[in-house]
Every structure is written in C-alpha cells, then in structure tokens.
Chain A
C-alpha cells in the first residue's frame, strides 16, 4: 500500500470533540452487581436462553444460542445466579468478583479457516463498531467469491468517540494479531489497517506492531466523516467501489472494526468469548469522560455513575456516536455488544433549531458520500412518492447523517429517509 492518504468523495468535517476523552487511558470499570444481558444484540435471528431462573452461571458461560446461521450466541458477563429471564434478556445477579479463566492458548496458525470461523461464532463476536453484524457470517464468502484483503477499520470518524483510538494505542499487538487471525480465517493474503491521520499515536504504535509482518500495512486516512463507513473505507484504502446493493466481498474485502479484531484474536487464541467491550463515555454532559472496558448488560445509569454522573444540563443521552447513535429515553438501557459509546450532550451541543423550508442549496447532495439526492428523498417521503424514491436509489442510503448535519434549514432528512424506507418495506410486505 502506498502511504498516500486515502479518501473518498463527499462527507463532512464536523467538530470532532475527541479531546474530551482522547487522553484517557483504557480503564476497566468495576464489576457490576447486576447485569441484564439481552438475547438479541446482533443483526439476525434472536437467541433462545440455555439457562433458567435460579441457575448459577460463571463469566463467559454461553447462556443463549440460536440454530440460525445469521445469529450469534450470548454469554454471561459476570458470575452469579440467573435472577430472572424476561422475554428479551437474562438478568444475572453477581456473587463477588469473577475473572474469566482463559483456556490454554491456542496457536491459530495451526487452525483451519473453518475452525477459526467456528471459534469466532462460538465466542459471539459481532461487529463492535455499532452495526453488530455477526462476524463469522461476514467471514463466510458467498460461493465464487474470495477475499483479497482484510481491512481493519480504525477510522473512528464519529465525533466524540475515542475507544478505538485507545485500543490501537494500547493494544496495537492484539489488533495486529486480530488481523492475522482474520486473514487466516478468510484466506486473504493481505491486510490493511486504516487510521485517520490525526491519530498520530495510534499510527505510531500500529506501525511498530506491524513492522515484522510485511503482509500487513497501516494506511493513514483523511480526517472526515464517514471515513469509517464500510464502503467509504474500501474506497479510501483500495480505490474500489462496492457495487449498488453489493457486499464488500464483491470487491474482495473483509472490513472489520479494530475492536472486533481484538475480540476475534482473544476468541481464537484464548477462547475468550465477548462478554465485555470497550466504550467511550463522554460528552459535555458527563462529568469525567473516560474510556472504559465494561461488561455487557450493565446499565447506562451505572456506567455514567462511575464517570461522576451526569451534569445538570445534559439533555440527551445517546448510545453510540452523535451522528449515527440512537437517543435513549431512559438510563435503564444496558450496554450491548454494539454500544460503542455513551454520550451525554448538553443543550448547547445538541442544538435543535426550528425547521425551515428547503432552499435547494444542494449542500446535502454535496455531502452525501453515497452520491444520492437527500433533498429529493425529503420531498418523496413527505408526499409518499415511493416509486420515485426507489428510482433515486433510496435503498443505498447508509443513514450516515451527513445531509442532516449540513442542512441549513434543519430538515430532519435522516428521519424522513428512514420513514420512506420503512414505507417501502411495508408496501413490499403487503404485496
């Protein structure tokens, strides 16, 4: 790979606000006394519980599973007793400290691709960047396709979030190990780790870590959003465009978040399932922003509490980043595998302004990294012109929020696009 900075067309350069948590080293949060582990934390079929109320479980024990291929098992994140099984989650009450005792380290070089994929599935690995798509599914190519590259996504383009950056700085060796495991697992000869170029410390430590592996390279990327979008990352690193309606594998690439790579390495070499993950707790509404390693199923309230609590002027709490994350209504929500951060924004940060009419300035069209026409989608959505929207490729929209961010009229474009997509789906079902 050349050292030329990779980039794509479109996108935006929002205020990054990463300085809030950028210098906070990874910190393991104290073990919660009670977790509520949801049965469906991934894209695909939900799991059915393997334990029942009153059972004792140890940390890392598989507590739910599904027959379906596109699914991912769930593990206990603390040792203790199953207090309750609701329809959607298993509640475990802890019995003191519970460290995971890792199995005998395995040499992944000796494993076959199938064995590695099986280990990844068994450990419940899903994409930790936010989408939570089961990784073993991604690693299984459709017939006739082969992987050429494993691309590790260290772009972390969402403002505020810094967890991937910390992982790359502090666990560069594990990131590289993850890359090697994944290369072996999909039979790809090369790997590239893409990192936005302003993350200098991460670039430095990764370069050191890959120096002995000529098949792996580290590529700096332009600092802009959504650099970490799967399709944008492939364009930036390989110059290839995933065809409309296609998958990364169509251009020979497997894209995996750096955090996921570390989890995959842990799963394959140590047999450690995904029962904890790193998250960034930040935002103007958090007293002490931190990068934390937390157990799956811990409530937002407890995590925020650990970070000094919410500032009084916090008005919005978000699971994930500010551009694609989901606003939560209650702090009883729990951290799941796809939670990359907890953000508490103040009224000033989460500016809400009155919506105005579209002045057709075209900023949304310029910003769209998928080269779509969000202004037209808004008209389609409001007037139920579903066929027109389909004709304009509304299904290619990745809902990155660039259009919405730049709109000077404050039109809720992402919301309108989602509604239009939902209406299209509903119509398809009805037919």
Chain B
C-alpha cells in the first residue's frame, strides 16, 4: 500500500473526487477485504459501507477534537481505541436491530478497526502503517472523510449489486470465488489504480 497523497489532495470540499477519480476501492485499493467479504448482496454491501462510513466519520471527528492533547508516541493507539469504540457501537447496534445483516457481515464488522480506509481516511498518524507504506502527512478534513466514506459505500453497493444480479444467472457470483472474480473484473474495468503499485512490487 503506497498511497501517495500529496499536493493534489487539497483540503477543499471535493467529495465527488472520492467517488470517481480517487475511489477508495477501485483506485486506491483500500479496504478490499470487506469489499470482497461483505458484498454478497447489494444490501450487505450497503450495510457494510454505511457502518464503515459511520466509523470513519465519527473517528475522524473525535480524533481531530482530541488530537492536540495526544502525544505523538501514542497517537496511533489512541486513534485505534477511538475507532474500536465506534466499531463496537456499530456492532452492537447492528446486532440488536438487524441481526440477519449482522450475521451476514460477520467478522468484517469488528475488522473495520483495521480497515486501511479508516487508518488513511481517519488521519491516523504515519506510524500506523508498520511497513506497507505510510499515508504520510495527509490530514483529511471532515469533508474528505465524508467523501471517502461515501465513495466506499457506493463501491460496496456496486459490487454487491453486480454479485447479486450475477448470481441470479451464474451462482458462482454469490460465492467466494465470485467475489474475487467480480472485484478483479471491476478493477480491470476501472482502469489503472491511482496508487501506482498495480503490479508486483518486487521486481528483482
């Protein structure tokens, strides 16, 4: 994950950018696990996207409030604790009010905490990424978080819709191989991903 967020990510309000040019799933290749695992239907995709967007927005808002009080060394930990709190809230809410969806999304709800999208879009400190690359000094605004969440939500709904419609004709789309297949085909259709590394990194 070598997202290169830099000068072109101005803090101005550009939610549309996150939907197309910098779609988190199709262009930035962020949050692929839920994009595969929680999209067997459009409804599941929507729920997953909504939960993620909720956590993203809330974490972003809360963290930016307390950011100045947090020493840099524990920044990442505090950030994750906040995210985990919101994830727990989302988890409980879904469990109580939409148990069938909660069951369908399964483990992907708690895993929102470690979703790359949250770490990048929520403005986690650079040390969040212990290796794969760093989001750098990118500090997203609330608008960015909103756009990103929306982009993610729409992507998941799209994938879910494709799989749901596809599985009516070719049941493989509803199964794990179909998830990979759908995302692979959609990524190919979306064109070259923005964070460059659309090819093996280890050219020896």
| B-chain residues with CB within 8 Å of residue A385 when the two chains form the complex | 204
| A-chain residues with CB within 8 Å of residue B204 when the two chains form the complex | 385, 387-388
Cα A375 to Cα B68 with chains together (Å): 60
Chain B residue with Cβ nearest A383:
B203
* CB of A169, distance to nearest CB on chain B (Å): 55
Cα A388 to Cα B204 with chains together (Å): 8
Cα A385 to Cα B204 with chains together (Å): 7
3 interchain residue pairs of minimum CB distance = A388-B204, A385-B204, A387-B204
Chain B residue with Cβ nearest A387:
B204
A interface with B by C-beta (< 8 Å): 385, 387-388
Cα A414 to Cα B108 with chains together (Å): 54
Interface residues of B in 146-204 (CB under 8 A from A): 204
Interface residue count on the B side (C-beta < 8 Å): 1
* CB of B63, distance to nearest CB on chain A (Å): 45
- The total of interchain contacts (Cβ-Cβ below 8 angstroms) comes to 3
* CB of B79, distance to nearest CB on chain A (Å): 42
| B-chain residues with CB within 8 Å of residue A387 when the two chains form the complex | 204
* CB of B127, distance to nearest CB on chain A (Å): 34
Binary interface profile of B, 39-70, with partner A (CB < 8 Å = 1, else 0)?
00000000000000000000000000000000
* CB of A377, distance to nearest CB on chain B (Å): 16
Cα A229 to Cα B167 with chains together (Å): 62
Cα A385 to Cα B202 with chains together (Å): 13
| B-chain residues with CB within 8 Å of residue A388 when the two chains form the complex | 204
Cα A112 to Cα B204 with chains together (Å): 56
Cα A387 to Cα B204 with chains together (Å): 9
Query: What are 3 contact pairs spanning A and B, CB under 8 A?
Result: A385-B204, A387-B204, A388-B204
Chain B residue with Cβ nearest A388:
B204
* CB of B76, distance to nearest CB on chain A (Å): 38
* CB of B199, distance to nearest CB on chain A (Å): 13
* CB of B147, distance to nearest CB on chain A (Å): 40
* CB of B203, distance to nearest CB on chain A (Å): 9
Cα A388 to Cα B202 with chains together (Å): 14
* CB of A386, distance to nearest CB on chain B (Å): 11
Binary interface profile of B, 58-89, with partner A (CB < 8 Å = 1, else 0)?
00000000000000000000000000000000
Cα A124 to Cα B204 with chains together (Å): 48
Cα A69 to Cα B204 with chains together (Å): 42
Cα A387 to Cα B203 with chains together (Å): 12
Cα A357 to Cα B204 with chains together (Å): 22
* CB of A187, distance to nearest CB on chain B (Å): 49
* CB of A230, distance to nearest CB on chain B (Å): 34
Cα A230 to Cα B172 with chains together (Å): 59
Cα A372 to Cα B204 with chains together (Å): 21
* CB of A100, distance to nearest CB on chain B (Å): 60
Chain B residue with Cβ nearest A385:
B204
Cα A385 to Cα B203 with chains together (Å): 10
* CB of B93, distance to nearest CB on chain A (Å): 53
Cα A52 to Cα B204 with chains together (Å): 56
* CB of A30, distance to nearest CB on chain B (Å): 60
* CB of B200, distance to nearest CB on chain A (Å): 13
* CB of A181, distance to nearest CB on chain B (Å): 53
Cα A240 to Cα B188 with chains together (Å): 55
* CB of A130, distance to nearest CB on chain B (Å): 37
* CB of B172, distance to nearest CB on chain A (Å): 28
* CB of A2, distance to nearest CB on chain B (Å): 48
Interface residues of B in 76-113 (CB under 8 A from A): none
* CB of B202, distance to nearest CB on chain A (Å): 12
* CB of A205, distance to nearest CB on chain B (Å): 57
* CB of B177, distance to nearest CB on chain A (Å): 25
* CB of A425, distance to nearest CB on chain B (Å): 21
Cα A378 to Cα B106 with chains together (Å): 48
* CB of B138, distance to nearest CB on chain A (Å): 35
* CB of B18, distance to nearest CB on chain A (Å): 37
* CB of B27, distance to nearest CB on chain A (Å): 28
* CB of B143, distance to nearest CB on chain A (Å): 44
* CB of B23, distance to nearest CB on chain A (Å): 32
* CB of A163, distance to nearest CB on chain B (Å): 47
Cα A250 to Cα B204 with chains together (Å): 36
Cα A224 to Cα B204 with chains together (Å): 38
